[in-house]
Structure 1
Amino acid sequence: MKDVLVDDFQNSVSESLIRHKSIIDIMTKLSESNSRINRAVAKSVTNCGCISVSAHKQRISDDASLEDIVNSLSYQIEGELCNNCREVLEEEIGNNIYYLTALCNALGINLFDVIIKENDKIQTLGKFSML
């Protein structure tokens, strides 16, 4: 069922992408949409204030186990997104997924296959997948 949802989305993107169909347009729109996500997060902090960033060096004890490390690290975000900021971010993330999918279409890559491969890698490597 999930593969049908992703495939349907990929087909919808293929059918709806007209204006920015060039690979160069797709790449730059994907990059722009990523910047808009970053900007929306920044505005949630600086304009709205619904969240704040408490960034500092994350301390890890030399004798800490992997489980201790996982439990001690944080996203360094305080608060929760308000409904308005959440809505803006969901829209920007949706645009990003749209252009990522358009890139997959342009290059003949099946997005569901990418998701499955990445999930398999994460499942196999677990906490070591992104070290």
Structure 2
Amino acid sequence: MPRYQKLINESDSNAAAATVAQQQQQHHRYQQQQHKMPSVGYHLYLYRQQLAQKNVEYMRLSKAKYFITDTLLAKTVRNLKGCSVDELKTVNHQIVFRHKLRHQIQRLRKLKSLGIKNANPKMESTEL
């Protein structure tokens, strides 16, 4: 009887260890999914949601625009070999727009650090 009891206990502990290992793998997969960057479609969805709201969060809106522009620009730059002159001009305009967005986000961060919450990035500067 004691030997039989040992075998049962060992099989229970092996099953428990396998269950714990399986749970750890599932948790690890979940963690990996959480750290993936959201897709462009998801950012477009967030951008539209922000535009539909009454009180727009300008920082979130600008970040979404920047991510969308940056991602689409990266995809376009990978395929520059077969581009026409008009497409190269468009890429140049996108690069300038991305630079302006980056500057706008930095400006919003500075204003936030000064205590101005949710400042409109299109308002005129108070710099002299």
Fold-level similarity (TM above 0.5)? no
Q: Which has the higher contact order (CA 8 A, sep 6+)?
A: 1
Structure with the higher helix share, 1 or 2 = 2
TM-score (norm. length: structure 2): 0.29
TM-score (norm. length: structure 1): 0.28
Determine which structure has more spread, i.e. the larger CA radius of gyration: 2
